[in-house]
Structure 1
């Protein structure tokens, strides 16, 4: 499978790895714009999301897609206090276990595996998300582009780096999420 969403996710996660590979160890303890996470905790959250993709592909495909990339972010139990607490805890546990450099190494291998696995999937592949949603893999990957892009911007802020958003990610986010009138999205695109 080759799609705009997969190519954008590949580009955005590759850029994330490239930008983060030389972060000084002490900088990983900086506060992120996503309290209570530090920069390392936030990267732990990103790594956990990327690492989930192969397991989704190993599971049986649902018979039909039920939601799209926009409906995925609807307000329901996925944003409940208990789900948010689990999300926060997992990011913190991974950061404590691996540290910043270890998280970058884990992201490097996890993204390579996930992108490679997605490329081997047939067009029209349907997956079930951790929240129980049945959706086209291409739509799910659009949600991953949004996550990688937004949290990349959060990490840039936390680490005092210039913000970035790759051209493929900016184009996909503009098309899928209707962000065409948001000048910051286009300005951040690297082209």
Structure 2
């Protein structure tokens, strides 16, 4: 899957009538593309209760090597929903990366660790006393897209795409066929074919739903 980018996967999802890529969540650290099964976290505005476990720690403990932590952090837009100590633990666990629908902090530390973190922005403001975890490995909504535990997440410099776990083979086959068409266009351009001819109706109909 890492040979496909998020744009191609988004197109394949759209062609199959599934929810396409997520806008606005961008890569904040490293230049890496990630792919893995989702372990989800839900955050909510804190009610003042002091919790025995910090947010995200349960998900890290549950995650397997190569998984992606996905955090729904939409209750507040003035604090982080992920930070450096979590990144340190995630990196040690072999987690592929982290996707947060909200803000994160300690992004320089994540960069130094080599852990890809994707979010809507960054802030130095802590989550403590502001947000708390309400669920781990339950369905979350990220950028309007439902993510179930075990769904597959692909993220890179263009954004994030989520593949339902039971549709992976279908999405891969569709993406592969679409990539073949795009590579044919690239080859034509390399031969000097004008782009107005190379990107003809074949390209324009690539998103036509599969029958």
Question: What TM-score does the superposition give when structure 1 sets the normalisation length?
Answer: 0.26
- TM-score scaled by structure 2? 0.24
Q: Which structure shows the bigger proportion of residues in helix conformation?
A: 1
More strand by share: 2
Specify which structure has the bigger relative contact order, considering alpha-carbon pairs within 8 angstroms and separated by 6 or more residues. Answer: 1
Larger radius of gyration: 2
